[in-house]
Structure 1
Amino acid sequence: MPDNQGLGEQALNKAAEIGISSQLDEVENLDVDVKTDPLKLLGGEVDSVKIEGEGLVMQKDLRVEELEMQMGNVAINPLSVAFGKIELTKPTKGSTRVVLTQDDINRAFNSEYVGSQLQSQKIHVNGQLVTIVPQQVDFRLPGNSKVAISASILLRETNETHQVAFSAVPKVGANGQTVSLENVEYGDTNEISPDLTKALIDATSEILNLSNFDLEGMSLRVKQLQIETGKLIMQAEAYVEQIPSA
């Protein structure tokens, strides 16, 4: 840690790191960098707050490869600093970048949470109402702005296993909170049930829903979704009412 970093900055960094970590299931690396000077801090002014994280596991077993958040001109209660807290006196906005890998999304797809979500609904397959049990879901990011999903699905009532494969283009909803899949194209397998495909599309939207990445006092609104081979990058605006602290 640089020698010229003020004690106030160090205390705030540590408090925010502990506070954010406490909201996550796992953290590989988390670094908070508060920039200000002692006089400004006494007046409740902070020049900038930068949060950088790697390998953060959020709710629903969703792992984030990288998270970067940058906020400028943050107004805080100077008295809160004495207690090692960053208490905002007014909300602030920041820019955020979230990177998810193909492996991260696969992990979420094959998690208990998504499995139970899919099994909790009955759908129509060949004119019969059945319960679907995902055996294996393979989510890929092949590039060219698409996601590709192939899944092996057991129909509990008939004990049949079906393969489902399709690709689609994720689009961010107008509110910046939801992601929908458009331009669905089917693979080699014939579509056995529109309901089954819809269940998988809904599960994808649920995993990529931006509220999954919100921390207490912070909400994100996606501006741009970019797909590279093996990686999905979200550029978002953060609305911050409070920075979690210890």
Structure 2
Amino acid sequence: MAESPGLGEQALNKAAEVGLSSQLDEVENLDVNIKTDPLKLVQGQIDTVSIEGEGLVMQKDLRVEEMDMQIQSVAINPLSVAFGKIELTKPTVGSARVVLNEADINRAFNSDYVRSQLQNQKIQVNGETRTINPQNVDFHLPGEGKVALNANILLVETGETHPVAFEAVPRVSANGKTVSLENVEYGKSEEISPELTKALVDQTSELLNLSNFDLEGMTLQVNSLKVEPGKLILQAQAHVEQIPSAEN
């Protein structure tokens, strides 16, 4: 029979769940599980903090299918426990796994935020400056380590619509904070402007940047990015200065 959490653990679990939820636009399921014993808690020690979430909508309309985070050996201010808070006395490091699926990345691409980012861009087409307006952005994860994107781009000044398509291999930067697209292969459609494809490549990289998944007091440094058919899986190191908890 599983041990039921003590009153101190329960209060901290709830405080952390409320605090984390307050930083997210939407939450389908969020479960925080803090393990320690009462004696350690009084001394300001927590053995493990486990955070499991599903359907978390972060900033920029980016939905995360799954997020699992494990943090060990957490030192806290024992007095903060009385107020239902988890106040770390020193930073700690944990591990995190983030799963993004194709449909959610597509949703983010077609969100008002990303569309506004792209619409602000001016590009050169045949020597003329044009304003772009993306239509029907379609993002795919075909497997084989690649991402693929198809879009129709409206050139506002002329009313012309041009198809743009590319496949590329996402790579995590050495600092674990940004994703760049390498080995870009263009689609069969006639390439009207290298700047046009570059704008979409850059926006794809920006959307996958790991700072989008940071929460207050918690940042991720990605160790690996795996592309599977229909989903992206990120394995990361979590740097934790504070675990958000409920405000009293």
Alignment of 1:165-204 (within 5 A): 165-204=165-204
Equivalent residue number for residue 7 of structure 2: 7
TM-score normalised to structure 2 length? 0.98
Tell which deviates more after alignment, 48-57 or 189-198.
189-198
RMSD: 0.8
**Aligned pairs, number:** 245
What is the identity, as a one-letter code, of the residue corresponding to 2:214?
D
Equivalent residue number for residue 107 of structure 1: 107
C-alpha separation in 1, matches of 2:125 and 2:170: 25
Equivalent residue number for residue 240 of structure 1: 240
- Deviation per CA, 1:166-196: give whole Å up to 9, x if none: 1000000111000000000012112211100
What is the identity, as a one-letter code, of the residue corresponding to 1:141?
L
C-alpha separation in 1, matches of 2:170 and 2:126: 28
Equivalent residue number for residue 96 of structure 2: 96
C-alpha separation in 2, matches of 1:108 and 1:90: 35
Equivalent residue number for residue 122 of structure 1: 122
Alignment of 1:14-163 (within 5 A): 14-163=14-163
Percent identical among aligned pairs is: 74
C-alpha separation in 1, matches of 2:75 and 2:190: 57
What is the identity, as a one-letter code, of the residue corresponding to 1:23?
Q
Structure 1 position 4, deviation (Å): 2.7
C-alpha separation in 2, matches of 1:103 and 1:126: 34
C-alpha separation in 1, matches of 2:45 and 2:52: 21
Equivalent residue number for residue 227 of structure 1: 227
Structure 1 position 3, deviation (Å): 6.0
C-alpha separation in 2, matches of 1:54 and 1:236: 17
Equivalent residue number for residue 216 of structure 1: 216
Give the secondary structure class of the aligned counterpart of 1:84: coil
Give the secondary structure class of the aligned counterpart of 1:8: helix
C-alpha separation in 2, matches of 1:33 and 1:191: 52
C-alpha separation in 1, matches of 2:180 and 2:190: 22
Give the secondary structure class of the aligned counterpart of 1:136: strand
Tell which deviates more after alignment, 117-126 or 136-145.
117-126
Structure 1 position 36, deviation (Å): 0.2
C-alpha separation in 1, matches of 2:162 and 2:204: 19
- Deviation per CA, 1:82-120: give whole Å up to 9, x if none: 000110000000000000000010000000000000011
C-alpha separation in 2, matches of 1:184 and 1:191: 13
Gap runs ≥5 in structure 1 = none
After the TM superposition, which segments of 4 or more aligned residues of structure 1 sit over 6 Å from their partners?
none
TM-score normalised to structure 1 length? 0.98
Structure 1 position 150, deviation (Å): 0.3
- Deviation per CA, 1:182-237: give whole Å up to 9, x if none: 00001211221110011001110111010000000001001000000000000000
